[in-house]
Amino acid sequence: MIATWYKGQEIQRGRNKRHTKPVVIIVCEGKVTEPKYFGNFKGRHKPIKIEIVKGAAGKNYDALIKEADRAVHKHVIDTDGNYSVWCVSDVDVDHNTPGNYSTRNDQLKKYVAEAKSRKFEVALSNPCFELWFLLHFTPNPGYMRDYDAVKKELSVGLPNYQKNSDVYSLLAANQATAIDNAKSLEQIQKQNKTDLMDVTVNPYTSVWKLVEAINFDRFAAQPNAIKEN
């Protein structure tokens, strides 16, 4: 499993008993789309506290990792080691720059390795986060070149979609379908690739893992000491 059930803990402080809450930190590459979407989960899951960092890095994976490190310092307070960090990011290949596939793949591999070394989870989408939205309506859209291609297909379920829109309420009824579609798509990709963290794995998204983890009040406990930048 990608996460474990949280069991509340009590801390004795003088005469007072206090229940600690696990913290789920969601570090978003984007400034609007991902933060708006995940912001809708904050008030729905009382056993956990959700913290969202937006616009962490643009296309810079190194900056995203650094923002995640800073977020741990800021938000992991009195959790008794019960927290998880999710880096929400896209592959977002630049098709117009020669050699970008190789360069971007090298960056992606380094990023995933850095995240793993810190026990951060990576919720990756290829080509973009909106693929997760599309899977609410389509089980397998086939190869998606870029955001524009995904947006075109999204017109099936979200005809007026814009990046600054909060579409959670329009998607919520199909969320279980999207999770099932994403899982099935992952199994299809595994037939051809042993490493899904690769620019050639398209279409692909692991956002479902974060959504499922939150929905079941699960998270990957990370009891390690917080790393210094």
> What is the model's pTM?
0.85
pLDDT of residue 22: 85
pLDDT of residue 11: 33
pLDDT of residue 75: 87
Distance CA(151)–CA(180), nearest Å, equals: 21
Asked whether 50 and 211 are in contact (CB, 8 A), the reply is: no
Mind listing the pLDDT tens digit of every residue in the chain (229 residues)?
A: 344 333 333 333 333 444 467 899 999 998 999 999 999 998 776 678 899 999 876 668 999 999 999 999 998 876 566 899 999 999 988 888 877 889 999 999 999 999 999 999 999 999 999 999 999 999 999 999 999 999 999 999 999 999 889 999 999 999 999 999 999 999 999 998 889 999 999 999 999 999 999 987 554 444 443 343 3
Alpha carbon distances (Å) from 4 to 39, 42, 71, 214, 218: 22, 19, 21, 11, 5
Residue with tokens 């579409």: 167
Distance CA(179)–CA(186), nearest Å, equals: 11
